[in-house]
Amino acid sequence: MTSALHVDLYQLTSLIPHVSRGHIDDRVVMTFFSRRLPQNPVTGETVRGYLIWAGLQRCLDYLESARFSEEGLACLERHPSLGPALMDMPSLIQRLRRWQFSGTVHSPPEGTPIFAGSALRMDGTPLEAHGVKPAAYIPYLVIETDLLSAKLIETPLLSIINHMTMVASKAAHIVSAAREGGNRPVVEFGSRRTHPAAAVDAALAAYIGGCSATSNVEAHFRYGIPATGTMDHFAVQAWEQPDQPRHETEFAFFQAFHQHYPDKDTLLVDTYDTFGEKTGIRNAVAATNGGPVAIRIDSNITKGNLWKARQLLDGLGAIDTKILVSGGIDEKVIRELADAAVDGFGVGENLVVSSDAPVGVGAVGKLSMIRGHPTTKLAKGSGKAHLPGILQVWRTPEFDLVGLHDEHQRGEPLLQVVWDKHGRKPAPSWADVRRFAIDQLSLLPTERKQPRSIGLPVTDALAQQLEALASQI
């Protein structure tokens, strides 16, 4: 069971008036989406050409397992503002006690490239209705459920969507950069830069985004993601002895590591001096009788140093030893190393924290149907207007078309039923999700993947529905 208390308090305080009016069983549709592609918080520059949808199965995990415990309900009853109102509604307490999610969930397949931007009419002109200029987007989730459930699930689902899609999208851009210089793998190394629980989801998201493996063992255990590791500076230093020179203890540790992992020994060579006469690369080659499988360099990552490392390895006869690099790199650094002597990358903080767009992907959840009628937050003049009704998106090689779910349009419909009255649908393996994401990106024209502000066309029927609602203010 997962605690259902992963909500903002206002979800519960604002629920009380609806309970008093008997609204909590009313049918609603919630749409989860991003209004635009991520921007650099300082420059305002668009920094992603696309997003990679990650978090679907984790969202469904939450819907499946979220419950209120007796201790959690008691906590709500003691709250200074919510508690008195809640105690006046014993029927609501009973309802929360037995609550579990039910409804219908529509979503693109996990790993789908996601786009968002200004809404355009079919002729390419901006959509404006009575002063309202809405965003257009591919929804992450479209959920049909009761009002109570919609209130309880919005916050936790947004937490999952914003975090995992942020990491998967950053991973996809990093992996794309690594492939520009050849088929060079990227391993996710970011566990120590985020919360332990978030690190597991980050590892999964990075794998969906194209990383070949993770260093996170819990993610390997829980999701079957390939786990890989080299060695740490701690291990090299821990072999030190007060009466021995550092180059001798480094050599001894390299030798011991090689004996235990003769075919998988990646040796970290910059603890003392990467290019020293008795340390670093020379020690790694000597301790392994001709060269380890790979060396890792975690500092001073420049083209010059990498070619120097390659030449030194080759000169020592270790022509098959690969060079892996880590240490604060991102897609910009990787592109600068496109023609450098490097065979793979370990990326940590700039992946799981996504420092150029660190506040998620701006995902929000908005009410788009209430009691069978379309609705929208018009928010005139704010740029926060969204699209009403139950949406569908059709993908073609040239563009994505956003419309209403009961329309018939050219292209592949992206939103599919992933949960219905029988529960969640079977999910593909994580390896298949990763493969799907990579394949879908490969099908997109290069211009669709460039970081830029974009517009998405909406159908005439959807535009008319928005205009009708905007005229009612």
CATH class of 2-167+360-470: alpha beta
Collapse the DSSP code of 51 into the 3-class scheme (helix H, G, I; strand E, B; otherwise coil) and give the result. Answer: strand
pLDDT surpassing 80 at residue 473: no
pLDDT surpassing 80 at residue 360: no
Q: What is the pLDDT of residues 396-441, one digit of tens each?
A: 988 999 999 999 999 999 999 999 999 999 999 999 999 999 999 9
Other beta carbons within 10 Å of 254 = 25
Q: Helices then strands (H, E): number in the chain? A: 17, 23
Please state, in angstroms and rounded to a whole number, the distance separating the CA atoms of residues 467 and 21. 30
What pLDDT is recorded for position 408?
A: 95
Collapse the DSSP code of 217 into the 3-class scheme (helix H, G, I; strand E, B; otherwise coil) and give the result. Answer: helix
pLDDT surpassing 80 at residue 381: no
Phi, psi of 141 (to 5 degrees): -140, 140
- In the numeric block, the tokens 């010059």 are attached to 304
Collapse the DSSP code of 171 into the 3-class scheme (helix H, G, I; strand E, B; otherwise coil) and give the result. Answer: helix
Q: Do the Cβ atoms of 267 and 257 come closer than 8 Å? A: yes
Please state, in angstroms and rounded to a whole number, the distance separating the CA atoms of residues 106 and 144. 8
- Percent of the chain topping pLDDT 90: 92
Q: What is the CA radius of gyration of the chain?
A: 26
What pLDDT is recorded for position 378?
A: 87
Confidence band, pLDDT 50/70/90 cuts, at residue 358: confident
CATH topology of domain 168-352: TIM Barrel (3.20.20)
Strands 322-325 and 344-347, sheet pairing: parallel
Q: What is the pLDDT of residues 302-353, one digit of tens each?
A: 999 999 999 999 999 999 999 999 999 999 999 999 999 999 999 999 999 9
Spell out where 240-320 has E strands: 266-268, 294-297
What average pLDDT does this structure show over 121-149?
A: 96
- In the numeric block, the tokens 């080659």 are attached to 285
- In the numeric block, the tokens 């409804």 are attached to 103
What is the domain partition of the chain in residue ranges?
2-167+360-470, 168-352
Q: Do the Cβ atoms of 248 and 239 come closer than 8 Å? A: no
Q: What is the DSSP string of 446-460?
A: GGGGSS---EEEB-H
Q: What is the pLDDT of residues 442-461, one digit of tens each?
A: 999 999 999 998 999 999 99
What pLDDT is recorded for position 382?
A: 79
Confidence band, pLDDT 50/70/90 cuts, at residue 181: confident
